[in-house]
Amino acid sequence: MNPPKIQINQSVAILCDGNNIERSLHELTNNPTTMVNFDQLIPRLLQDRGLNRLIYFREGQAISSKLAERLHNLYYGSVIPCHKSADIPLSIKATQLASKVDTIIIMSGDSDYVELVLHLKSEGVRVEIAAVEQTTARILKEEADYFHPITKEDCFTYSQPKSAPFRESPRKK
């Protein structure tokens, strides 16, 4: 006899340190054009729980408008440009969301988030880490309630669309 399926009603926020995840994926695949496949990763991270927020923090000006549009259209997500590192803006947002969600998933392997993890847990929030295992600080995995490894199967290689060859317009006679 199979045990009854239990409905888990958790509200989850996913906060992604884009630069950290991108660097980790590039190192994992030895390819600088590797990107996260959110269509595959997000459902795996949520495990049938409800998504409250998805925020992608990214340092620098080169933020793909297509990524921002895709995250918004599929997950009502947003991309937040950061002046320097994502550590402080991500930590502030996590602290603001702590009273509004049951679980916060931090997509980063950076040990700078250890104090944030400890604080969120002290506030009663479940904290999960999603990152490339080889580049994740051991202490971050130990302090989190759960660790989701991001693997090669969770990414894809981005290739620039080939532009059409230039053609002169026919001259009017």
Residue whose token pair is 């995995």: 141
CA distance 33 to 31: 6
Would the CA dihedral through 143, 149, 150, 152 be positive or negative?
positive
**Band (61; pLDDT cuts 50, 70, 90):** low
CA 22 to chain centre: 10
The full set of domains in the chain, from first to last, is: 11-157 (3.40.50.1010)
Burial class (CB in 10 A: 0-12, 13-18, 19+), 117: buried
CA distance 129 to 150: 10
From the CB of residue 116, how many other CB atoms can be counted at a distance below 10 Å?
A: 23
Closest CA to 12 of 47, 41, 50: 50
**Band (132; pLDDT cuts 50, 70, 90):** very high
Average pLDDT for the chain: 89
From the CB of residue 76, how many other CB atoms can be counted at a distance below 10 Å?
A: 11
pLDDT at res. 82: 87
pLDDT at res. 173: 44
| Average pLDDT score over residue span 72-97 | 92
pLDDT at res. 39: 92
| Average pLDDT score over residue span 70-86 | 88
DSSP 169: P
